[in-house]
Structure 1
Amino acid sequence: MLMIKAIIRPEKVDHVLSELSDAGFPAVTKMDVVGRGKQRGMKVGDIHYDEIPKEMIMLVVKTEEKDDVLSIIMRNAKTGEKGAFGDGKIFVSEVLEAYTISSGSKGL
């Protein structure tokens, strides 16, 4: 099992979630986050924004489903603006175990 965490622009999150659900990945956790990338924020005129609002989605998938999920997220979260930064980042990590609290069953 793998956990995929994607930090994406807020205006892209609904479309990404819709496409994931349509592809058979409806189980997602979503949360509001703020942060900055390598650019250390953003400057607009004289104002420097140190923390940029984003959304983070997390889902756990079977290892063989990873490429499909990554493709859906990247295709639908990308702005397409040439040289654009701030479209987000995706992190993939191993999940050793998962349990359902109500039943105590192990696995997805």
Structure 2
Amino acid sequence: MKLILAIIRISKMNETKKALSDAGLPSFTAMGVLGRGNTINSQPEELPVADAEGEEVLVKSRLKAKRMITLVVSDDKKDLAVKTIINTNQTKKSGDGKIFILEALDSVSVRTAEKGDKTLD
């Protein structure tokens, strides 16, 4: 099993979600993240973040708002997942994102206690 972490542009999230689903990979988790790659923003941008009470406030930052998609796939679906993410997100411009592929040692379904690849379907 492979754990795939993909950092993509926010504007590509819906398109990526549809492409993964169309490719037979509908299960994933997505979250908002802040970060940067090799390019540093020369001008800070105002980004919404939650304060200690959970209220949204704007802060100036040189970090970019992105989406991180996490999915676990069987070894034979790794290339399909990576190709789908690249084909959907590649603009050939700085900021397209990054994909990290890690080994997932095991998976356990909380509901059924099943283990391994069969929990991924």
Calculate the TM-score normalised by the size of structure 2: 0.79
Separation of aligned partners in 1, 2:111 and 2:62? 41
Separation of aligned partners in 1, 2:87 and 2:65? 20
Cα deviation for residue 73 of structure 1 reads 0.2
Asked if residue 98 in structure 1 is aligned to residue 107 in structure 2, the reply is: yes
Query: CA deviation digits over 1:36-92, x for unaligned, max 9?
Result: 1112x312xxx2352100000011111111111111100101124xxx211100000
Separation of aligned partners in 1, 2:2 and 2:102? 6
Structure of higher CA gyration radius: 2
Q: What percentage of aligned pairs have identical amino acids?
A: 39
- Give the partner amino acid of 1:94: E
Cα deviation for residue 103 of structure 1 reads 1.8
How many corresponding residue pairs? 101
Output aligned runs, 1:44-83, within 5 Å. Answer: 47-48=43-44, 49-80=61-92
Give ranges in structure 1 of 5+ residues lacking alignment: none
Runs of 4+ in 1 over 2 A off after TM superposition: none
Give ranges in structure 2 of 5+ residues lacking alignment: 45-60
